[in-house]
Amino acid sequence: MNRRRCVNAAITVVCALTVLASPALTLQASAAPAAPKAVPAAPAAPAAPLPPTAPKKTLEEVRKEIDGLYRKAAAATDAYNLAEEQTEEQSAEIVRLAKMIVAGREKIDALKSQAGAAARAQYRNGGLPEGAQFVLTDDPQLFLDNAGRLKEGQKATKDLLAEMTNTQAQLTVYAKDAGTNWTKLEANRVKQATAKKDIEEKIAAAKKLESELAAEERERLRRLEEQEQYRAQTAWLDTGVLKGLSDTATPQGKRAVEFATAQIGKPYVWGAEGPDSYDCSGLTQRAWGKAGRNIPRTSQEQWRLLPRVDIKDMRPGDLIVYYQDASHIGMYVGNGAMVHAPRPGRNVTLAGAGSMEILGVVRPE
């Protein structure tokens, strides 16, 4: 009995120790289990340093960035305008070739009809041409009279076959040219789409920069633009460039100047050729078109293809090309001034002819 009590007591102690040593067990008793001993927290890792805040751009830096974006947009506009002009040319050429192909096929059909009529006549005559029937006659006089007709008939048949062969060869060339022009047309459409995307991105970026400025800063930005143009114009005039320059335009040049200045106040829109809005080369092209002289569409092509003159010989109506990439152009109107369509967000206006970096001068006349 004592042994049994000792065993029972030992089991009770073991169970109690087991319960106390197992914090994961849930006790059904009303008393809450003792809280586990707190473990000291590991020392916190040092916080990563924040990236340095970019210094705020000065207004002059913003002005230069905006000006650069609009310059790039102007260059892309030239690429767009050139691709558009080439697309129109290729489209017109494809239409012209298509008409020639239709006319050629109609001619082939007519020649085939002639050849068929000759073949049917020969069949009716027993396989001999009509002229040969006369040649084979027993009448000597009739033979002599119609020998020439046989020769003429042979020549006519030979000419008919040659004409058919030549017309068919022309049709092959027209079809090949049409295919080539179609390939060029599609390539120009891709160029247009790429240039358009580039233009819109650059203009959107420039407008975003401006929109982030407060109203007072935007006004200061406008004054900075004017000051930069005034500084450049003053430096240009200080070279004495106006000495000896003629302010007399030719009759054709005068008409071009009158048209261009009449557009003052109309908005710049890239790719526009009037009458309600213009880009820079659209204005100069339209003005000289009104004066009776067709000139290329883009400022780069106007610079490349029109006759160049020395700036000391410049006269009203001449075109001043700006920047090393020929991405901007204006028309000299005399007295050191020019008229131009500046950029998106601006209107056609008068400005100092030397207010931007001059590449050279061309004369459409």
The residues annotated with a catalytic role in the active site are: 280, 328, 340
- The CA-atom distances, in angstroms, between 171 and each of 105, 183, 231 are 8, 18, 63
359, 322 contact by CB (below 8 A)? yes
Sheet holding 319-322, edge to edge: 308-309, 358-362, 319-322, 328-334, 337-340, 349-352
Q: Distance between CA 299 and CA 30 in Å, rounded?
A: 94
In the numeric block, which tokens belong to residue 250?
Answer: 């030719």
The dihedrals phi and psi of 320, each to the nearest 5 degrees, come to -100, 125
Compute, in degrees rounded to 10, the torsion defined by CA atoms 262, 264, 269, 270.
80
- Strand runs labelled E in the chain: 308-309, 319-322, 328-334, 337-340, 349-352, 358-362
115, 160 contact by CB (below 8 A)? yes
Is 75 exposed, middle or buried (CB count within 10 Å of its CB: 0-12, 13-18, 19+)? Answer: buried
Q: What is the 3-state secondary structure (H, E, C) of 70-90?
A: HHHHHHHHHHHHHHHHHHHHH
Q: Distance between CA 298 and CA 313 in Å, rounded?
A: 23
